[in-house]
Chain A
Amino acid sequence: MKQTTIYSLLFGLFLLSSCYKDKGNYDYAELNKVTILFDGDTKYIRPRVSDTLNIDPQLVYKGDTLRASKLAETFAFTWYCNNEQISSSPVLHYPVRSLTGVRPYLKLKVVNKNDGSTFLEGMTVEPIPAYLTGWVVLTKKDNRSIISFIDPVSFEVNADFYATISEKELGPNAVQVKEIWMANAGLSNAGNILIVRNDAGGNIELDGIKLNPIANSNNFFLGNTLPPDFRPRGEFYMWDYTIMLDDNRNIYVRKHVDNSLTQSGVYPNKPLFIPGGVKFDQGWDGTFLSGQTLLYDKTQGRLFLASDDWGAVLPVTYLPGPPLPPGTTLIHAMDKELVYVGRLQQGRFTSSYYLVFFDGTKYYEQKIMIMDQRFTVNALFMGEVPLGAGTANAQSVFCQLPRIDNYMFYSGGSGNKTLYLHEQGPGMSSEYFTFDSPIKIIAAAQNQLMGVHTHDQLMVALENGHVYILGILPDQMADPSKRLIKKIELNQGVPVSGMYKMGYGYFQM
């Protein structure tokens, strides 16, 4: 009994000891937390591949916000790319091209030299590929077609890149370059470059990032059999359909099996039949990846629309209404040659266009809005006026800014060396820039400025092989001295075609 009592007391003592309240007094050294901030407080950055990073982060420390470059005595800095140390400097100077991985994760470790406290912060780098955006110029020299890329920021030229990258020749008959996109899921891909070659070799598609050739349109005909005497004159990419125009004025319409790919499906190797002996001489892209491609039968003087709606090719007719003004060039019976179509890229099945007609001496400009109504295609007539009277000439080339209705540029003047700006609103033209050689091509850039996609630059390529980049933003339009951004002595021959490669598919929507 006595032993039981002792054991019970000991057990009770142990039990109560667990209730002991720790009233210890601990002294902690006060640590000053450091918050690392990258400019823009961003978790990712999008430099160009050709850039060099120059990151001087801000540290919030003891209530102050200071640049890392001012705190080198207090802290030790270590920069990592995907956990591999790349620098121990407070400011990171590092070429983007040297970062490893597709989306490198950049991390900064800051260690307080006094107490060893460590702080980390990081961000993802999404490099913009070198060839994602930029100017592409097709020229001809010594019976060679040459394609060159001009960086839109540094204006560094990658001349004759097709020959360099593919180690092949384009041949002498390349006639057009354009950017083409994939639809649907493919919209997040970079646009590829299509080179239209007016010879039996067929059109070539180049990868939009690496610029290497990835497809030849000749390989997409039924049974791998080309139509007889086939030489492409144009190829037009829409959402679900692609149209090929050849030198025999025939068209071939292909439906994409998978519209997230540029090349899918096959062209029939016999031409599409259009009633009434219709043949096409030229075509123009409407709204890219849209339902509209405009086709022109010069012999019959008729305008047609190739629709993404069923892949139909239908004549464009005016909407019924009041009589058209006398002297209007009728789109179903043109008495003048249609030489240019300026698209406004307004919508998928409905969009406006400026049609430029030439009667051999003078130009006329008609604005229409085309509405694809599935079984019929109608045009709303919006007016026709003379264009470039006294300034435009037989060699004039035109460039209507898509979406920005008011501005059309064209060449003219003595020797076709002057660039004119035609403002559609007031209907007046003014001299914009004068060069020392005839103008061969004009192309507009589309960039994202302050979150808005707009046209900010113009490329004018001259017969002497020089290329000019001009500014077309409001302040540059207002002040002629601000218009010239860069003169590039490309010297790759006579320009044939040019464009601004705008990049990802959703940029052009």
Chain B
Amino acid sequence: MKHFYLITLLGCWLMSCKKDAVEVFGGTSYVYFANHPGDSSDVKPIEYSFAFHPGANKDTIPLLIKLIGRLSNDDRPVEVAVDASNTTALSGDYELPGPNALRARHAWDTIALVLHNSDRLKTGKFKLRLLLHETELFRLGPSGNRHIDITFSDMIARPAWWNQDMEQLFLGAYSDTKYRLFIEATGIADLTGVTGTERRAYAIIFRDFLARGRENGEVYVDENGQINVSPNLL
């Protein structure tokens, strides 16, 4: 009899663990920011630099939103707002052209965020926090996915892959100017995980880019002097 009371008590206690904040297949729909369509973990902040997109005055960042609930036959507007207290970007640095909506028969969709480049971004990083707001059509999803931070700039920094080997064998001494030119020449900014032979090929493309430019009268200099690849690039 004593055990019966104990089991009953434990059962009641465990019933209190039931999570009822989000009703998955009920009539209520929830919307939240996500990293990928198949990823429901907390949304990660986005880092963006115009330095990796040479020549771009503006760029569009697609922000992924996901649905918990039933699909609808109609487009459903999603309310997105700027959290001014957590935003350092100016209003001219970005725009949300809309329409911000979850389209009909879609379980996930994207909201377009347009970032504008300016000289200001060359010297500092700016943050924008976007919040989802609850509406008649949508309640908010998991708490870690109700807002997203976007930090953007036009700044560049020495990447980890531009290590000593990269410097000695392929690209030579690092400078921000050289890195920007490298991205312009190759169209690639991240050589993480790239094989040695591929690094060499990118370095050759960069070498030829400098030579071609110089033949056309371009001047490539940085704080180290003339910009060149490593003399060991064979």
Contact = CB atoms under 8 A, between A and B. Distances in A.
A398 to B, nearest CB: 34
Interface in A259-300: 264-273, 275-276
B14 interface: no
Nearest to A309: B234
A222 B211 contact: no
Contacts of A255: 197, 200, 234
B215 A253 contact: no
Nearest to B234: A310
B12 to A, nearest CB: 61
A268 B197 contact: no
A270 B205 contact: yes
A311 interface: yes
A309 to B, nearest CB: 9
Interface in A80-110: none
Interface string B111-140: 000000000000000000000000000000
A265 B196 CA distance: 9
B121 to A, nearest CB: 28
A182 B65 CA distance: 53
A214 interface: no
B204 interface: yes
A268 B205 contact: yes
Interface string A290-326: 0000000000000000000011000000000000000
Nearest to A253: B204
B76 interface: no
Nearest to B203: A268
Which one of A222, A255, A269, A271 has the greatest number of beta carbons of chain B within 10 Å? A222
A265 B197 contact: yes
A257 interface: yes
Contact of B201 (A264, A268, A273, A276): A268
A487 to B, nearest CB: 48
B211 A311 contact: no
Contact of B212 (A254, A267, A273): A273
Given A266-B197, A267-B201, A311-B234, A275 B208 contact: no
Interface string B217-234: 000000000000000001
Contacts, number: 44
Contacts of A267: 201
Contacts of A275: 211, 215
Given A257-B196, A273-B211, A275-B211, A222 B234 contact: no
Contacts of A271: 208
A264 B205 CA distance: 18
Contacts of B108: none
- A-side interface mostly: loop
A222 B201 contact: yes
A257 B199 CA distance: 12
B171 to A, nearest CB: 14
A288 B188 CA distance: 35
Contacts of B195: 257
Interface in B180-207: 188, 195-198, 200-202, 204-205, 207
A276 B216 CA distance: 10
Interface string B42-73: 00000000000000000000000000000000
Which one of B196, B197, B200 has the greatest number of beta carbons of chain A within 10 Å? B197
A272 B204 CA distance: 8
B30 to A, nearest CB: 40
Which one of B204, B205, B207 has the greatest number of beta carbons of chain A within 10 Å? B204
Contacts of A266: 197-198, 201
Interface string A235-271: 0000000000000000001110100000011111111
A223 B234 CA distance: 20
B52 to A, nearest CB: 16
A222 B202 contact: yes
Which one of B188, B207, B234 has the greatest number of beta carbons of chain A within 10 Å? B234
A270 B234 contact: no
Nearest to A273: B208
Contacts of B234: 255, 310-311
A415 to B, nearest CB: 47
B217 to A, nearest CB: 13
Interface string A206-242: 0000000000000000110000000000000000000
B161 to A, nearest CB: 16
Given A222-B202, A255-B234, A310-B234, A270 B197 contact: no
A276 B211 CA distance: 11
Contacts of B188: 223
B202 A268 contact: yes
Nearest to A264: B197
A266 B215 CA distance: 26
B165 to A, nearest CB: 15
Given A265-B197, A270-B209, 7 more contacts: A222-B202, A253-B204, A255-B234, A269-B201, A270-B205, A271-B208, A273-B208
A-B interface, 8 closest residue pairs, ranked by CB to CB distance from nearest: A273-B208, A268-B201, A265-B197, A222-B201, A257-B197, A270-B205, A310-B234, A273-B212
Interface of A: 222-223, 253-255, 257, 264-273, 275-276, 310-311
5 contacts: A253-B204, A264-B197, A266-B201, A268-B208, A273-B208
